Amino acid sequence: MENLIEKKLLKANQTFQEWKKVPFEEKQKLIAKAAEIFKNKAEIFGKLITEEMNKPISQAISEVEKSALMMNYYADAENILSPEKIESEFKISEIQYVPKGVILGVMPWNFPFWQVLRFATPAILAGNTVVLKHASICFGSGSAIEKVFIEAGFPIGVFQNLEIGHGEVKEILEHATIKGVSLTGSEKAGAEVASIAGKNIKKSLLELGGSDAFIVLDDADLDEAARVGALARLQNCGQTCVAAKRFVIQKNIEFDFLPKFIEEYKKYVPADPKLKDTKLAGMARPDLADDLEKQYQKALEYGAEAIIPLERISKNEFNPGLIRVEEGNPILQEELFGPLGMLMIAENDDDVLEIANNIPFGLSNSVWTKSKERQNFFIDGLQSGTVNINRMTSSDPRFPFGGTKTSGYGTELSLHALKEFVNIKTVIGI
């Protein structure tokens, strides 16, 4: 391990010894200051995001603003980590929530500010310190976030950015100072990190891939479902775990819905990400575009039909594609991370539910129906961390976010996230 990285880990642990003693309300004041800086510099940081990973500038600015909104939620949050008094026959009888220590964050490139701050803010508010291993194309974002924490007045060592490669994660995670890890990324990366954490008896939180179903039933508002569906698939160039990836449509509305959906889908045309009115830009890296193209060809080889062909127009740009896929196509067991959607046709509600659940992922689904009875059927039956009714998936600071099955485990956002990296201590005395 490089001497500089070793020093940063030791600094994080040293700072933790004092930071954990800082009152909850004082931590909140610093979080509020950081949120204000992020909000005021949203355009500056938005440009950085666009430069690093190609996100359209308007979406990049919105990402930073949403991060500030989330931080303000925690700055005003109830302190649920206060000791809980338990009624009992003992003189001393309570539960305490004790921060774990230094937490490693392994974060992706697709939301370079939001993903980092979504993990770091509740972890830090709970009394932990954080070290970040960001995606290699987003080291600038990681450095910018660290500078904001310092500017806001956080002690040096509360948040530190480590410019390291994937090969160094194992050594850092095994370091005695690290007490837990939060990873947002692929199923493969999650399994590797969780394995290392497990061998070292360290807490892990995994937010992994998804292949969310966007379900449209025959009593839905088809115009709105088509409009929102296109956005749900193609926002951030389709490079988000919660993007709608499989459009499961009831058979008797196929010929009513599909033309509307195709019309909305074709409104997304690649353009310069630096322009404020751009809705779709290129993918973050050419190799990611290569991977998507291979998946497209694989799907076709196994019988998928191109409704709108996926057309590559530059090293990292596509005219978005849409394919009709039947059950049994192996592409359904993979995550499509880019501007390619899948259409599936179902006979009835039972068939829809079976198709929606018949994948290894379980992150977040969207159901479009006006019937309360049908809504409840899918709320009860869908195997996912979130179910959205007549809306697309989008995370909200007020609500828990996390997946099931190979989409991971653990909770981000909401007050629940404050307890992810704490030890629960029982205190009893007579």
| Enzyme catalytic residues | 207, 241
Residue with tokens 């009831």: 250
Sequence length of the chain is: 430
Which whole-number Å values give the CA distances from 86 to 83, 89, 418, in the listed order?
Answer: 10, 10, 20
Which of the 8 DSSP states describes residue 83? P
Interaxial angle between packed helices 24-40 and 139-152, expressed in degrees from 0 to 180 and rounded to the nearest 10: 130
CA distance 53 to 343: 28
Taking alpha carbons only, the member of 66, 62, 364, 338 closest to residue 208 is: 364
Do 172 and 13 touch, CB atoms closer than 8 A?
Answer: no
CA distance 156 to 139: 19
Do 114 and 66 touch, CB atoms closer than 8 A?
Answer: yes
Total Cβ atoms within 10 A of residue 358? 13
CA distance 337 to 289: 9
CA distance 216 to 102: 45
Do 222 and 260 touch, CB atoms closer than 8 A?
Answer: yes
Checking DSSP bridges between strand 364-368 and strand 311-312, what pairing results, if any?
Answer: unpaired
Which whole-number Å values give the CA distances from 262 to 257, 278, 307, in the listed order?
Answer: 9, 19, 9
Beta bridge partners of 401: 412
Helix or strand (DSSP H, E) at 245:
strand 244-250
